Amino acid sequence: MPTMAKLYSTRRLLCLLLIIFSLTIPLYVNSRFYLHILIICCIWAMAATSMNLIMGYTGQVNLAHGAFFGIGAYSAGLLILKLGFNFWPALILACAITVFLGFLIGLPALRTKGSYFAIGTMCFNVIVTVIIDSWEDLTGGARGLLGIPRPAPIPLPFGKEITFTSMASNYYLVLFSLFITILVVYRIVHSMMGRTFIAVRGNEELAESIGIHAMRSKLLSFLISTFFAGWAGVLYATYIGFLSPEISDYHVTFELLTYCLIGGLGTMIGPLIGAFILTISSELLHGIAVPRLVAYGFLLVIIMIFLRGGIVGGVRGLWLSFTRWGGR
Amino acid sequence: MSLFIQQVMNGIMLGSVYSLVALGLTLEYGILHIPNFAHGALYMVGAYFAFLLATTLGLNFWLAMIIAMISLALIGVLVERLVYRPLMLESPLSSFIAAIGLIFIFVDGALNIFGPDFKRFPPTHTQVFHILGTTITFQRIIIVAVTVALIVLLHFFIKKTTMGATIEATAQDREGAQLMGINVKRVRMMVFALGTALAAAAAALIAPIHLVHPGMGGPVILKAFVIIILGGMGSTPGAIIGGFMLGVVESLSGGYISTSYNEVFSFGVLVAVLAIRPTGLFGAR
C-alpha cells in the first residue's frame, strides 16, 4: 500500500503545520477581539469533539450534551464563588461532578435505543435547565452567577508563576485543553476500545454476539464525553466570568449537534471544522441582522438530505472521484 | 374541595390540548415512524395563524380556527414532501435531526418576524359559569367540547371511510398495504395533513387563554412525546387518555405543590419510565 503510506505522511505534515500555526497565532494577532473569537472557538470545538465521541463514533444521539456543559460550568462557578476553591481543584472537582451526574443519568438512559434515547436525554436536558433556573438559593436563578475569576496562577520554582490575565495566556490554556481532548479522543478511536464503540454503532446486537459488552462500551463512551463537556464548561465559566441558565439550555445541545453534522459526524476533524466555521461566521456577522438560527436550521435539513457526511464527507467524495478520474 | 374541582377542571382543559397534539404526533410517529419533533413548532405556527387572522383580518374565532387548520394542513404536507420524504428510507434519527433543523427554522423565523413578546388574543367567549363553587369561562367549555368533537370525527374518519382504512392498513403493515395497491406516499401526506391540522386546532383553542409567543411549542411537544411514549406508539386511545391524565396531574401538582417545577415532574416521570421499561409502557419490543 504505497499510496496509503504517502497519504498518511502528508496528513501528518498537515497536522504538524496546523499545530505550529495555532501555537504561533498570538505572535502576530494582537487584536483582543480576534483572540476572543479564537478562545470561544476552542471551547466549542472541545465540546463538539467530545459530543462526536458518543454520537459520531458510538452512534448514540445524546441530546443532553449542553446540560453537561452547563453542569461543568455551574459546578466550577459555585465551587469558586461560594466555597472559595482555587481554580485548579475546582476544575478537577467540577469534571468529577459532571461525570458523576453523567453516570447517574447514563445508566438508565443508555438502556434505551434510537429515538427513545434522544428524547430521554433531551428531557433530562430540560430538567437540568429548569432546576438551574428555579433553584435560586444556590444558582442565583435567572439573574445568573456574576464575577467568576479567571484561572489562578500556577507557581513555578524560583518565585516565578504562570498567570492567566492576558488574552494570549487564556488562549494557550484553552488550546492546550483542546489538544488534550483531540489527542484522547483520537487515541481512543484508534484503539481496541474505539473499535468496540464503532462496532456498537454499526449493530448493537451483532456486537454483543461477538462478545462486546455493549452497555459497558456505551457507558464508557458517554462518561468520557461528559468529562470533556464538563471541562469545556469550566473553561467557559472562568473565561467569560458570567453564567446564566441559558448555558445549559437544549439550544446549546442543538448548536453542538449542528457543528458536528456540518463538519462531518464520526470524523476527527469534522467537529473542529464545524465549530470554527460556524462560531467565527456568527461572531463576525454579529452586527448584521442575520437570523443565524434560521440559517442553521436550513443547513441541518439540507445536510441531512443531501450531504450526510458533512463538509469532510463531501470533500472526501470529491477527492475520491478526482483521484479515480486522474488515475485513468 | 372547590380548589380540587377547579384544578381538575383546569386539568381537563389543559389535557384536551395535550390530547390533540399527542394525537397528531402519535399518527406521525406511530404510523409513519417519523419522530416529528417539529410538531410543536407547527403548533406554534398554527397559533400565530389564528392570532393574525383574528386580529388583522378581524375574522371571528371559528373562522380563524378553521382557516388556520387548513393552512397548517398544507404546511404539514409540504414539510412531509420536502423534508421527510427524501429521508423515508433512512434511519429515524436522520428525520429527528432534520426535525431539529425545522424547529430552528420555524421558531427563530417566528422570533424574527413577530418578535419575542407575548401576543394577547382578542378575548372571545368570556361568559362565566359557576358550577359546584368553581368558576369556568365559556372558552374552556368550548375547548373541551371541540376536542371531543374532533376526536370523534377522527375516529369515524379512520374507521368508516376508505381513506381512513388505508391509513390503518399502512399502520399495520407498510409492505402489505403497498402490495394491496395502497399509495403509501398519499397516506403519508394525509397523515401529516391530519396531524398538523389537529395541532393547529389545539393551538387556536388555547390561544385565547394562554398567550401566543414563539417558544410556546417547546414544552408542549416534549409533553406530547411523554404522552405517546407512556401511552404506546401509534395508539390513539393511549394518546387521548394519556393527554387528559397528564393535564390533570400537572394542574393538581401546580395547584398543590409548585408550578416552577412543572416540567421536572412530567419529564422526570418519562425518564423514570424509560429507565424501567426502555421501550415505553406499552412498547412491544
Residues of B in contact with A130 (CB under 8 A): 260-261, 263-264
Q: Mutate which of A54, A55, A115, A288 to test chain B, going by most B C-beta atoms within 10 A?
A: A115
- Of B103, B123, B115, B142, nearest to A251 (Cα)? B103
Residues 6+ apart with CB under 8 A from A50: A65, A181, A185, A224, A225, A226, A227, A228, A229, A232
Give the torsion sign (CA, A136, A142, A145, A147). negative
- Predicted local confidence at residue A276, as pLDDT: 92
For residue B285, pLDDT over 70 is answered with no
In a domain, A123, yes or no: yes
| Helical (H) or strand (E) element with B175 | helix B174-179
Q: For the domain that residue A60 is a member of, what is the CATH number?
A: 1.10.3470
Q: Does B129 touch chain A (CB under 8 A)?
A: no
Q: What mean pLDDT is predicted for residues B78-94?
A: 84
Nearest CA in chain B to A115: B93
Q: Mutate which of B81, B103, B105 to test chain A, going by most A C-beta atoms within 10 A?
A: B105
Q: A124 and B109 in contact by Cβ < 8 A?
A: no
C-alpha distances in Å from residue A97, one per residue of A53, A235, B238: 20, 15, 38
Q: Does A215 touch chain B (CB under 8 A)?
A: no
Nearest CA in chain A to B98: A301
CB contact burial A246-268 (16+ within 10 A = b; e otherwise): ebbbbbbbbbbbbbbbbbbbbbb
pLDDT digits (tens, 9 = 90+) for A220-268: 999 999 999 999 999 999 999 889 988 888 889 988 998 998 888 888 8
In a domain, A147, yes or no: yes
C-alpha cell at A90: 475546582
Residues of B in contact with A204 (CB under 8 A): none
In whole angstroms, what is the distance from residue B218 CA to residue B197 CA?
A: 18
Q: Does A242 touch chain B (CB under 8 A)?
A: no
Region of B133 (left: φ > 0; alpha: ψ -120 to 50; beta: rest) is: left
In a domain, A312, yes or no: yes
In whole angstroms, what is the distance from residue B269 CA to residue B260 CA?
A: 16
- Predicted local confidence at residue B283, as pLDDT: 56
- The complex's ipTM works out to 0.79
For residue B243, pLDDT over 70 is answered with yes
Q: Mutate which of B85, B90, B257, B267 to test chain A, going by most A C-beta atoms within 10 A?
A: B267
Residues of A in contact with B229 (CB under 8 A): 116, 119
Nearest CA in chain A to B103: A297
- Predicted local confidence at residue B184, as pLDDT: 84
In whole angstroms, what is the distance from residue B73 CA to residue B194 CA?
A: 6
Mean pLDDT of chain B: 84
pLDDT digits (tens, 9 = 90+) for B45-62: 999 998 888 888 878 888
**A62 vs chain B: nearest CA distance in angstroms?**
11
**B206 vs chain A: nearest CA distance in angstroms?**
23
Q: B274 and A112 in contact by Cβ < 8 A?
A: yes
Q: What mean pLDDT is predicted for residues B109-121?
A: 83
Q: A112 and B268 in contact by Cβ < 8 A?
A: no
Residues of A in contact with B275 (CB under 8 A): 108-109, 111
**Sequential pLDDT tens for chain A (328 residues):** 445 555 567 778 888 888 888 888 888 887 888 899 999 999 999 999 999 999 989 989 899 999 999 999 999 999 998 888 888 899 999 999 999 999 999 988 888 887 788 888 988 898 898 889 888 888 887 788 888 888 877 777 776 777 787 888 889 999 999 999 999 999 999 999 999 999 998 888 899 898 889 999 999 999 999 999 999 999 999 999 889 988 888 889 988 998 998 888 888 889 999 999 988 888 877 666 667 788 888 888 888 888 878 888 888 888 888 887 765 5
- Predicted local confidence at residue A287, as pLDDT: 63
- Of A163, A174, A139, A320, nearest to A247 (Cα)? A139
Q: Does B268 touch chain A (CB under 8 A)?
A: yes
pLDDT digits (tens, 9 = 90+) for A176-196: 999 999 999 999 999 999 999
Q: How confident is the model at residue B168 (pLDDT cuts 50, 70, 90)?
A: confident
Interface of B with A in 66-85 (CB under 8 A): 83
In a domain, A276, yes or no: yes
- Predicted local confidence at residue A4, as pLDDT: 53
For residue B7, pLDDT over 50 is answered with yes
Of B225, B229, B271, the CB nearest to A124: B271
- Predicted local confidence at residue A1, as pLDDT: 42
Of B93, B261, B271, the CB nearest to A115: B93
Mean pLDDT of chain A: 87
C-alpha cell at B200: 393547529
Q: What mean pLDDT is predicted for residues B101-120?
A: 86
In a domain, A56, yes or no: yes
Residues of B in contact with A300 (CB under 8 A): 97-98, 100-101, 104
**Residues across chain B:** 285
In a domain, A10, yes or no: no
Residue that wins the pLDDT comparison between A47 and B128: A47
Chain A and chain B share a number of CB contacts under 8 A equal to: 119
- Predicted local confidence at residue A275, as pLDDT: 92
Domain ranges of chain B: 19-216
Nearest CA in chain B to A123: B267
**What is the tally of structural domains in chain A?**
1
- Predicted local confidence at residue A91, as pLDDT: 92
In a domain, A62, yes or no: yes
- Predicted local confidence at residue A233, as pLDDT: 95
Q: Does B259 touch chain A (CB under 8 A)?
A: no
C-alpha distances in Å from residue A103, one per residue of A211, B107, B134, B180: 23, 33, 47, 49
Q: Does B205 touch chain A (CB under 8 A)?
A: no
Q: Does A131 touch chain B (CB under 8 A)?
A: yes
Residues of B in contact with A64 (CB under 8 A): none
Segments forming the whole domain that contains residue A172? 32-319
Q: B92 and A297 in contact by Cβ < 8 A?
A: no
Residues of A in contact with B277 (CB under 8 A): none
